[in-house]
Amino acid sequence: MAHEETVYDALDQAHGGEGHWAFGTGFDDPLAGVDTTVPDGVDPADLGAYCLMLGDDALVLAQRLTQWVTNAPELEEEVALANIALDLLGQARLLLARAGSVGVLGRSRTLAGDTIPDEDALAYFRDVDEFRSTALVVAPNGDFAQTIARLLVAATWRLALFARLRASRDPVLAAIAAKGVNELAYHRDHAGRWLLRLGDGTAESHQRAQAGVDAVWPLLADLFTATEVEARLTAAGVAVDPASVRDEVRSVLDEVLTRATLRLPAWPADAAPGGRLGRHGPELPALLEELQGLARTHPQATW
Amino acid sequence: MSDMTAEGGKNTPSSPPLASSGRAPGRGRRDWPLYEVFVRGKRGLNHVHVGSLHAPDDEMAVHAARDVYTRRNEGVSIWVVKAEHISASSPDEKDPMFAPNGDKVYRHPTFYEIPDTVPHM
């Protein structure tokens, strides 16, 4: 065998020389062999609604991060943010597919064509009041520092949730969480490293990091309040009570901010769920217009 | 969109809202050192040079390399090194450096049969 010219050639050789490295090599199907039966005593409508909550958070945050593509301060960082967005999009896809598989499709199924898979119907053909994302991920990006502050909070919170969700009685949720934990650990790490450098950087970067953190912290208010769906599923051993991750989230965020020489903003008082019940501000319709416009204009488009 | 600088290893990303455009002249990535990236593939073998990137410091360079060069499952290990730390042969010395090897066939192990079961030769 000749000396491999590049690492890509070497990988191609390692996987039988099929020349498909551009599509990835050696990937695992995260749901291979996973039992998809709904656990005993669990209302499929609740399970589907919960999957929409977690899936919509990922979908909306992926869309927000994607808005940095062609706009990020550095090319390398642009790729990093796009990678994180793609991880989240993958999580959204699995979660929305799970919601569809238990029959939770809302009005989307009647609006989407028959050839469109459930997860795409849910992503592209649901109306704004059917979305279950929290205000944390819906909020606009702001500047780079604020984007990083929001990403840190979102990744820390979701990682704490997913780590516990690995023990869910729903085997599909448990498998999705097990896959997501590695991704989210990287997202949290990435955001944390940036916030340390911004906070403990120059006067300008410090001021912007502080402003970003101050803008994001109030969005923590409704993250730890369970909806009725979450309360029922937590009792059934399927969901994670969001209140149970509050201490971990708070201690991680406090530590990062302290090391970044940033002032800890006041921790907001717990608020009633808003986005989880489909109540959204004006930012979400605008985001969905961008996300869904093409699919709705050309519902049969293929490429 | 951005004006970034590195001061003593720290950096200042400062980005106006997304709607604005135009990069601030005279500052930016030119202040970030260039790193060369080496990736070791799944199967083992050696680290192979895959490209380069700019990063504010060593730690961020490793992370940027992960995001830029191992997006398709290419690697299990990454090395980065500042390009300024690489000593290289000069193109001007190409002939004295390499030409004398061209006619010394006895230095090549071409007189052996290599069994099919021996990998990586």
For the entire predicted model, the pTM comes to 0.82
Kindly state whether residue A9 falls inside one of the protein's structural domains: no
Kindly state whether residue A19 falls inside one of the protein's structural domains: no
Q: Read off the pLDDT of each residue in A155-177 and give the average, rounded to a whole number.
A: 97
Q: For position A29, what pLDDT does the model report?
A: 67
CA nearest B114 in A: which residue?
A: A1
Kindly state whether residue A302 falls inside one of the protein's structural domains: no
Q: For position B30, what pLDDT does the model report?
A: 61
Cα of first residue to Cα of last residue in chain B, in angstroms, is 50
Q: For position A271, what pLDDT does the model report?
A: 96
Kindly state whether residue A34 falls inside one of the protein's structural domains: no
Kindly state whether residue A69 falls inside one of the protein's structural domains: yes
Q: What are the phi and psi torsion angles at A249 (to 5°)?
A: -60, -45
- pLDDT above 90 coverage of chain A, percent: 76
| DSSP letter string, chain B | -----EETTEE------TT---PPTT-SGGGSPEEEEEEEETT----EEEEEEE-SSHHHHHHHHHHHH-TTS-EEEEEEEEGGG-----GGGHHHHHGGGTT-GGGS-TTSPPPTT----
pLDDT above 60 (res A6): no
Q: What is the CATH number of the domain that holds A162?
A: 1.20.1260.10
- Residue B85 contacts A, CB cutoff 8 Å: no
Sheet containing strand B48-54, strands side by side: B48-54, B34-41, B75-82
Residue-averaged pLDDT of chain A: 90
Kindly determine whether residue B17 and residue A143, on different chains, have CB atoms separated by under 8 Å. Answer: yes
- Tell me which residue range forms the domain holding A80: 41-262+271-297
Kindly determine whether residue A14 and residue B41, on different chains, have CB atoms separated by under 8 Å. Answer: yes
- Residue B35 contacts A, CB cutoff 8 Å: no
> What distance in Å separates residue B10's CA from the closest CA in chain A?
5
pLDDT tens digit string along A89-107? 999 999 999 999 998 888 8
Kindly state whether residue A20 falls inside one of the protein's structural domains: no
Kindly state whether residue A284 falls inside one of the protein's structural domains: yes
Contact A295, A117 (CB under 8 A): no
CB-closest option in A26, A73, A76 to B55: A76
Kindly determine whether residue B17 and residue A80, on different chains, have CB atoms separated by under 8 Å. Answer: no
> Which two structure tokens, joined as six digits, stand for A39?
């656990």
pLDDT above 60 (res A17): no
Q: For position B108, what pLDDT does the model report?
A: 73
Confidence of residue A74 (pLDDT cuts 50, 70, 90): confident
Kindly determine whether residue A76 and residue B54, on different chains, have CB atoms separated by under 8 Å. Answer: yes
3-state SS of A171-215 is HHHHHHHHHHHHHHHHHHHHHHHHHHHHHCCCHHHHHHHHHHHHH
Kindly determine whether residue A144 and residue B15, on different chains, have CB atoms separated by under 8 Å. Answer: yes
Residue-averaged pLDDT of chain B: 73
Q: What are the phi and psi torsion angles at B75 (to 5°)?
A: -135, 160
Q: For position B13, what pLDDT does the model report?
A: 41
Look at A40-49, A164-173, B97-106 and tell me which has the smallest mean pLDDT: B97-106
For residue A301, the SS3 value is coil
Domains in chain A, number? 1
pLDDT above 70 (res A11): no
In a mutagenesis test of the A interface, which of B5, B63, B114, B120 is the best target, namely the one with the most A β-carbons within 10 Å?
B63
Q: For position A13, what pLDDT does the model report?
A: 55
Q: Which residues of B touch A2 (CB under 8 A)?
A: none
